[in-house]
Amino acid sequence: TCRPYLTHAIEECVKGAQQGGVGLIAYSRKEGRALGEVTKFLVYNARKRQVGGDSADKYFLRTECVAGVQDMRFQELMPDVLHWLGVKKIHRLVSMSNDKYDAITHSGIEVGERVKIPDELVPADARVEIEAKIAAGYFTDGSVPDDVKLAATKGRGLA
């Protein structure tokens, strides 16, 4: 989901700048939750090959089985670049990560509004990740999927 979220954030930055504001993208490349590209591809492969195929209800479990942890990112350092740039307030934060939001706000930067990616911008094969993240407590302004919906949300198979 990184690509559609980043694309949406860029579009929101352009809109903000066109309305007289400032658009800023602070992108930190942390492939596969900072587990690295090889581990990321091992996880993707394991998700597609698991019994029943890729599903939202097993999204984080598969990462933990392969890597031993769900996420290695250390978001507490992420706001440093924003402070270096002199950012005091983010009017519209385009991120569903509560860890990023918490790191930003706990560092003293005010966040006005959190912006959800519109459903129509999420590719069908990214629904597994989005639904799993929302069920795990990531930001949404919509409904949280229950266990039945999570199990029913399937990704691409091996085909």
Tens digit of pLDDT for each residue in 114-132? Answer: 998 898 998 887 888 888 8
Range of the domain at 24: 1-28+75-142
How many C-beta atoms lie closer than 10 Å to residue 5's C-beta?
20
Residue at 159 is within a domain:
no
Residue at 156 is within a domain:
no
Residue at 153 is within a domain:
no
Residue 54: predicted pLDDT? 83
Contact in structure between 36 and 68 (CB atoms under 8 Å): no
d(CA 100, CA 34): 14
Q: Are residues 96 and 18 in the same domain?
A: yes
pLDDT-derived band at 159 (thresholds 50, 70, 90) equals low
Residue at 93 is within a domain:
yes
Q: How many domains does the chain have?
A: 2
Residue 122: predicted pLDDT? 87
Q: Are residues 53 and 86 in the same domain?
A: no
Convert the pLDDT of each residue in 21-73 to its tens digit.
Answer: 999 998 877 766 788 888 888 888 888 888 888 888 888 888 888 888 888 88
Convert the pLDDT of each residue in 66-108 to its tens digit.
Answer: 888 888 888 888 899 999 999 999 999 999 889 999 999 999 9
Residue at 8 is within a domain:
yes
Q: Which of 33, 73, 92, 114 is catalytic?
A: 73
Residue at 148 is within a domain:
no
Q: Which of 33, 57, 62, 71 is catalytic?
A: 71
Please say if 71 is a catalytic residue. yes
pLDDT-derived band at 19 (thresholds 50, 70, 90) equals very high
Q: Are residues 62 and 86 in the same domain?
A: no
Residue 158: predicted pLDDT? 67
Contact in structure between 33 and 62 (CB atoms under 8 Å): no
Q: Please list, residue by residue across 86-107, b when 16 or more beta carbons sit within 10 angstroms of its beta carbon and e when fewer do.
A: ebeebebbbbbbeebbebbeee
Whether this prediction's pTM lies above 0.75 is answered by: yes
* Angstrom distances, CA of residue 9 to CA of 25, 26, 123, 140, 148: 7, 10, 16, 16, 31
Query: How many Å is the maximal CA-CA distance in the chain?
Result: 52
Q: Are residues 112 and 35 in the same domain?
A: no
Q: Are residues 39 and 62 in the same domain?
A: yes
Residue 12 has pLDDT above 90, yes or no: yes
Segment of 14-18, 133-137, 146-150 carrying the highest mean pLDDT:
14-18
Residue at 44 is within a domain:
yes
Q: Are residues 62 and 81 in the same domain?
A: no
Residue at 149 is within a domain:
no
Q: Are residues 68 and 79 in the same domain?
A: no
